[in-house]
Chain A
Amino acid sequence: MKLVKVYVTLKDSVLDAQGEAIKSAINTMGYKQLADVHMGKYFELSFDDDYAQLDQDVNAICDDLLANPNIETYRYEIMEEQ
C-alpha cells in the first residue's frame, strides 16, 4: 500500500481571504508575533500498490481535480501506508 499526502495551497499571488481572517483573529487573541497564516487543503490518497505510473497519475489527479492550476499549487509526498 502506498499513501500519498497531497497539500494544495493558493499561489502566493492569490488573495488568501481565509488566511487573512484567521491571522487577524489570532493576533487579537494576543499572539502578536504571528506574521502570516496561509490556509490550504490536505488529502490522503491510498493506492493498492506502487507502480511505474504512480507519479504521473498523482500529478494528473491533482491537475484535473484536487487543485485548480489557475489559482492553486500543490506538492505531495509518497510513503508506505502502515
Chain B
Amino acid sequence: MTEPTAKQIQTEKLYQQWGLTDSEYQLISEKILKRLPNYTETGLYSVMWSEHCSYKNSKKVLRKMPNKSSRVIAGPGEDAGILDIGDNQAVVFKAESHNHPSAVEPYQGAATGVGGIIRDIFSMGAQPIALLNSLKFGPLKDGKTKHLVNEVVAGIGGYGNCIGLPTVGGEISFEDCYEHNPLVNAMCVGLLNNTEFKHGTASGDKNLIIYVGAKTGRDGIHGATFASDEFTDTKNKQRSAVQVGNPFIEKLLMDACVEIIEKHSDWVLGIQDMGAAGLVSSTAEMASKAGSGLILNLDKVPQRETEMSAYEMMLSESQERMVLCVKPEFEENVLNFFKNFELDAVVIGQVTTDKQYKIYHHEQLVTDIPVDSLTEDVPEYDREEKQPQRMIDDKDYHFMPTIDSLSETWQKMVQRPNLASKKHFYQTYDSQVKANTLVRPGSDAGVVRIRGTKKAIAMTNDSNSKYVYLNPFVGGQITVMEAARNIVASGGIPIGITDCLNYGNPEDPESFWELDKSVEGISSACETLDTPVISGNVSLYNEYNEVAIYPSPMVGMVGLIEDIKNVTTSAFKKAGDLIYIVGQTFDDFNGSEIQMEQLGQLKGDLRVLDLEKEKLHQDLIHQAIEKDLVTSCHDLSEGGLAVALSESAFENNLGFEIKTSLTSAQLFSETQSRFLVTIAPENQVVFERLIQEDFELLGQVTADSSYKVTTTDETSIIDGSVVKSNWKEAIACLMKSEV
C-alpha cells in the first residue's frame, strides 16, 4: 500500500476521514509544525485528538468534579486513582466503558474491556482484587438482543474467570434505548501495599523504553485505511479490526508487573498500559508528563503480522501490552525478569531531552513532532447547551399507579427484568477465586476482605439512567447516593468513586446539557459525601439513527469497612426480628419501575433530593451497624419497599408480617434516602433512640415464606414462595423463550 503524501492529505482533506476538522488540521500544520504533517503524523494527531484520548468536548464539564480528599494519593491523569485506606495500604480503582467494541463483537468487546481495566490497575503496581460491571441492553425480546447479552456476559466471565479475579458485583438493566447501542462498563479494584506508586512517566535522558507483552497486530485500528468498510461487507475480507483478548497472557503480564514493581522498584521508573491508541497514547503521555522527548524504533516492536505500516503499529490496539521506562544499567535485569515469565520484552526506544516525539521505521524518520502537541495542544470545545424540551413539557406531570390487587401487582413487579434476579448471568462469573469474597453478588455491594487485616473493601456499580433522563441534575445526585447507600448497607463508609459517563452526541445541545447537568449532580453529591472522583472515562456519541441513549452515568463506588464484623447483608436472618423502614416515603413514581410497568413510558420530573437528609440517614445506619444493632440492611431503590422486602426474605426462605401507614401504591414508590433494616427485638429502644425520626416500625420477620401486608388500603396475604420463583425464574424464562 502506498501512503498518501502530505500534500494529498491536505488537498483531498483526507484528515477529515480520520475525524480531524479543518481548523484542527490548520492548527497542526500552520501553528504547531509549520509544515504539512505526513501520513503517520496525521494519524497520530487524529487519534490523540479524538474525544476518547483528549476529552476535548468534555474537559470543561469534567473539571467540575471534586477530586481531592484526605485519602487521595493519585487522581485523574494516571491509569487509575488511588485512595489511602490506612496501615500503609491503598486501594486503586477505575471503571471504563467498552460500548462500541461490544456492539461490534460482543464476546471480544466485553472481554477486552475487562482486560483493559485490569491493566490500568496493575500498571499502578497494585494487585487487582476484584471486578465489577454495569451492563445495559435493549429489552429481552428478540433473538439478537439475547445473543448479544449472552456473548457479553460470556466475554466478561471468560476473561475474569481465566485470569483469576473474582467478579463480585454489578448490574444489568434493559431499556429500549440500548437496543442498538448496548453499554458495557467494567471496573477493577486493586490493592497497593504501600502508599507510593509508579507514575506513568518516561523521564531521564537516555533511559530506555521497553515494550512488554503480546505482539502487535492490526487489532482495533480505525480510520480510513480499511476499517470504514469493514463492517458493511466483511464476509470475504481476511482483515479484521476487532481486538481479541488473551487472558492467559494477561495473567502472566499481571503477575510479572506486580512483582517487578513490588520487588524491583529501583529498576522501573515508569510503567503504563497500552490501551486505546496503543503505542502512541502510552508513550506520548509518559514523555509529556515527564517533560521529555522520545525516540522510538518501530523495527524493534514485536509484530504478529507482516508489512505493518508505522501508522498501523502506532495505533494498533492489540491487547496485553505494557510500556516501561527503565534505566540503562537495569536493561538486562528487566529483560531477563520478563523472560522468566515467558513474556516478550524488548527495548524499542529511549528518552531524550528535546521534547520531540521521533519515530523511526525501516531506518527512516517517519515522525518528528513536539510531544506536547499530541497531549496538550488539542483545542478544548465549549459546546452549546439546551435544556431538553421534554423536561419543560412534562414538568408538572405526576404519575400515580393504580393498584387493583396488591398481590397481583407485587407478583408482576418482581418479574420485571430490571427487578428480577440476575443470578442467571452472575453465576457464570467466578465470584470467589482468591478466597477473600465475604459478600458475593446478589446483596447490595460486593465485599472483599484484605487478608491479614480486619479490613474489607465494599464496592458497587450503580446507574439509573431513567432518573437521569427525567432530570439530569437530580438523577446524577441519585446515582451517587444510591451507590453510597449500597456501601453503607454493607457496613462500609464511602471513600471515593470512579465513573463511566455514557452519553449521546456532544454536538447536540440537549445531549450536552444532560452531560453537564448530571455531572453537576454527581459533583454535588460527591462533595456532600466527601467521596472524590479519582478516575473515570467518557463515552460520547452513543446513538443509533440519531436517537441518543438515555444519559447514563455509571458510578463505581468503593467503601472501607474498618472491621469485618461490620459486614452486613440484605438477607433477613431470623424470624422475630423487627423490620424498620428508615426515611420518609412520598408519592415518587416518575421514573419508577411501576411507571414503566403501568404507563409504559418515562414521564415527569423528579423530587429535589435533600442531600443533607440523605447523608444523615447514611450516617445513622452506619452507626447502628457499628453498634451491632443491625441484623440485615437493604438499600431501597428500584421497585421500592415491596421489592426490597421480597429480596431480603428470599435468601433464607423467610416471610414477614407488616402494617404500615403507607398506601399500597407507596410500597412501589422510589423515594430516595431510605433503608430497610432489621434488628433483634431486644435492641428496639436503643435503635429507635439512635435513629430519632423519619422511621417506621413495619412489623417482623416470620418463619414461613408468606407475606402478610396491611396498608392504608387493604390487607393482603401473598405467597412468598411464588414471589420467589417468579423473581428467580423471570430472566431465565425470557432468555429461553422463542423469538
Interface residues of A (CB under 8 A from B): 10-15, 17, 20-21, 63, 68-71, 73
Indicate if the CB atoms of B218 and A13 lie closer than 8 Å: yes
* 14 A-B contact pairs sorted by A residue (CB < 8 Å): A11-B239, A12-B238, A14-B244, A15-B219, A15-B318, A17-B248, A21-B248, A63-B235, A69-B234, A70-B104, A70-B234, A71-B108, A71-B240, A71-B244
Indicate if the CB atoms of B246 and A69 lie closer than 8 Å: no
Q: Which of B108, B217, B231, B235 contacts A13 (CB 8 A)?
A: B217
A60 nearest CB across to chain B (Å): 11
**B104: nearest chain-A partner, CB-CB:** A70
Interface centre among B230, B244, B318 (most CB of A within 10 A): B244
Interface size on B, residues (CB 8 A): 26
Indicate if the CB atoms of A15 and B214 lie closer than 8 Å: yes
| B263 interfacial by beta-carbon distance below 8 Å | no
- Pick the 5 closest A-B CB pairs, nearest first: A17-B246, A15-B244, A69-B234, A70-B105, A11-B240
| B34 interfacial by beta-carbon distance below 8 Å | no
**A74: nearest chain-B partner, CB-CB:** B235
In the complex, chain B residues 48-73 whose Cβ is within 8 Å of any chain A Cβ: none
Interface centre among B104, B238, B245, B318 (most CB of A within 10 A): B238
| B305 interfacial by beta-carbon distance below 8 Å | yes
Indicate if the CB atoms of B242 and A70 lie closer than 8 Å: yes
Enumerate chain A residues within 8 angstroms of B218, measured Cβ to Cβ. Answer: 13
Q: Give Cα A69–Cα B304 distance, bound, in whole angstroms.
A: 21
Q: Give Cα A4–Cα B334 distance, bound, in whole angstroms.
A: 52
Enumerate chain A residues within 8 angstroms of B217, measured Cβ to Cβ. Answer: 13-15
1/0 contact string of B687-703 vs chain A (CB within 8 Å): 00000000000000000
1/0 contact string of B228-265 vs chain A (CB within 8 Å): 00110011011110111110110000000000000000
A53 nearest CB across to chain B (Å): 18
Indicate if the CB atoms of A14 and B242 lie closer than 8 Å: yes
A17 nearest CB across to chain B (Å): 4
A11-B238, A17-B248, A17-B249 given; A71·B214 CB < 8 A: no
Q: Give Cα A65–Cα B265 distance, bound, in whole angstroms.
A: 49
Indicate if the CB atoms of A13 and B234 lie closer than 8 Å: no
Indicate if the CB atoms of B244 and A68 lie closer than 8 Å: no
Interface of chain B: mostly helix, strand, loop or mixed? loop
Interface centre among A11, A12, A71 (most CB of B within 10 A): A71
A21-B248, A70-B105 given; A14·B235 CB < 8 A: no
Q: Give Cα A70–Cα B231 distance, bound, in whole angstroms.
A: 7
In the complex, chain B residues 94-109 whose Cβ is within 8 Å of any chain A Cβ: 104-105, 108
Q: Give Cα A71–Cα B231 distance, bound, in whole angstroms.
A: 11
Q: Give Cα A69–Cα B235 distance, bound, in whole angstroms.
A: 6
Q: Given A14-B242, A70-B104, 6 more contacts at CB 8 Å?
A: A13-B219, A14-B217, A15-B219, A71-B105, A71-B108, A71-B242
Q: Give Cα A74–Cα B205 distance, bound, in whole angstroms.
A: 51
**B147: nearest chain-A partner, CB-CB:** A65
Count A-B pairs with CB separation below 8 Å: 53
Indicate if the CB atoms of B238 and A13 lie closer than 8 Å: yes
In the complex, chain B residues 316-371 whose Cβ is within 8 Å of any chain A Cβ: 318-319
Enumerate chain B residues within 8 angstroms of A13, measured Cβ to Cβ. Answer: 217-219, 238-240, 305
Enumerate chain B residues within 8 angstroms of A69, measured Cβ to Cβ. Answer: 234-235
Enumerate chain B residues within 8 angstroms of A70, measured Cβ to Cβ. Answer: 104-105, 230-231, 234, 240, 242
Q: Give Cα A73–Cα B230 distance, bound, in whole angstroms.
A: 14
Enumerate chain B residues within 8 angstroms of A73, measured Cβ to Cβ. Answer: 238
Enumerate chain A residues within 8 angstroms of B246, measured Cβ to Cβ. Answer: 15, 17, 20
Q: Give Cα A20–Cα B214 distance, bound, in whole angstroms.
A: 11
In the complex, chain B residues 367-382 whose Cβ is within 8 Å of any chain A Cβ: none
Enumerate chain B residues within 8 angstroms of A71, measured Cβ to Cβ. Answer: 105, 108, 240, 242, 244
B152 nearest CB across to chain A (Å): 14
**B304: nearest chain-A partner, CB-CB:** A15
Enumerate chain B residues within 8 angstroms of A21, measured Cβ to Cβ. Answer: 248
Enumerate chain A residues within 8 angstroms of B243, measured Cβ to Cβ. Answer: 15
B215 nearest CB across to chain A (Å): 8
A41 nearest CB across to chain B (Å): 14
B219 nearest CB across to chain A (Å): 7
Indicate if the CB atoms of A17 and B104 lie closer than 8 Å: no
**B107: nearest chain-A partner, CB-CB:** A68
B36 nearest CB across to chain A (Å): 30
B236 nearest CB across to chain A (Å): 8
In the complex, chain B residues 186-238 whose Cβ is within 8 Å of any chain A Cβ: 214, 217-219, 230-231, 234-235, 237-238
A63-B235, A70-B231, A71-B108 given; A14·B248 CB < 8 A: no
Interface centre among B104, B108, B234, B319 (most CB of A within 10 A): B234
B291 nearest CB across to chain A (Å): 35
**A72: nearest chain-B partner, CB-CB:** B240
In the complex, chain B residues 525-550 whose Cβ is within 8 Å of any chain A Cβ: none
Q: Give Cα A15–Cα B213 distance, bound, in whole angstroms.
A: 13
Q: Give Cα A12–Cα B217 distance, bound, in whole angstroms.
A: 10
Enumerate chain A residues within 8 angstroms of B249, measured Cβ to Cβ. Answer: 17
A11-B238, A63-B235 given; A17·B244 CB < 8 A: yes
Q: Give Cα A21–Cα B249 distance, bound, in whole angstroms.
A: 9
Q: Give Cα A17–Cα B111 distance, bound, in whole angstroms.
A: 13
Enumerate chain A residues within 8 angstroms of B105, measured Cβ to Cβ. Answer: 68, 70-71
Q: Give Cα A71–Cα B241 distance, bound, in whole angstroms.
A: 8
In the complex, chain B residues 284-311 whose Cβ is within 8 Å of any chain A Cβ: 304-305
Q: Give Cα A16–Cα B234 distance, bound, in whole angstroms.
A: 19
A67 nearest CB across to chain B (Å): 9
Q: Give Cα A14–Cα B219 distance, bound, in whole angstroms.
A: 7
Q: Give Cα A71–Cα B112 distance, bound, in whole angstroms.
A: 14
Interface centre among B214, B218, B242, B245 (most CB of A within 10 A): B242
Enumerate chain A residues within 8 angstroms of B219, measured Cβ to Cβ. Answer: 13-15
Enumerate chain A residues within 8 angstroms of B244, measured Cβ to Cβ. Answer: 10, 14-15, 17, 71
Q: Give Cα A8–Cα B1 distance, bound, in whole angstroms.
A: 28
A16 nearest CB across to chain B (Å): 8
Enumerate chain A residues within 8 angstroms of B245, measured Cβ to Cβ. Answer: 17
Q: Give Cα A70–Cα B151 distance, bound, in whole angstroms.
A: 14
Enumerate chain B residues within 8 angstroms of A14, measured Cβ to Cβ. Answer: 217, 219, 240, 242, 244
Q: Give Cα A10–Cα B230 distance, bound, in whole angstroms.
A: 15
Q: Give Cα A21–Cα B320 distance, bound, in whole angstroms.
A: 15
Q: Give Cα A3–Cα B242 distance, bound, in whole angstroms.
A: 32
A37 nearest CB across to chain B (Å): 14
Q: Give Cα A73–Cα B234 distance, bound, in whole angstroms.
A: 9
Q: Give Cα A21–Cα B235 distance, bound, in whole angstroms.
A: 27
Q: Give Cα A71–Cα B230 distance, bound, in whole angstroms.
A: 11
**A63: nearest chain-B partner, CB-CB:** B235
B351 nearest CB across to chain A (Å): 30
Q: Give Cα A4–Cα B219 distance, bound, in whole angstroms.
A: 32
Q: Give Cα A10–Cα B217 distance, bound, in whole angstroms.
A: 14
Enumerate chain A residues within 8 angstroms of B237, measured Cβ to Cβ. Answer: 11
**B226: nearest chain-A partner, CB-CB:** A13
B199 nearest CB across to chain A (Å): 30
**A69: nearest chain-B partner, CB-CB:** B234
Q: Give Cα A73–Cα B237 distance, bound, in whole angstroms.
A: 8
Q: Give Cα A10–Cα B238 distance, bound, in whole angstroms.
A: 9
B354 nearest CB across to chain A (Å): 36
Q: Give Cα A71–Cα B242 distance, bound, in whole angstroms.
A: 7
1/0 contact string of B363-404 vs chain A (CB within 8 Å): 000000000000000000000000000000000000000000
Enumerate chain B residues within 8 angstroms of A15, measured Cβ to Cβ. Answer: 214, 217, 219, 243-244, 246, 304, 318-319
B593 nearest CB across to chain A (Å): 34
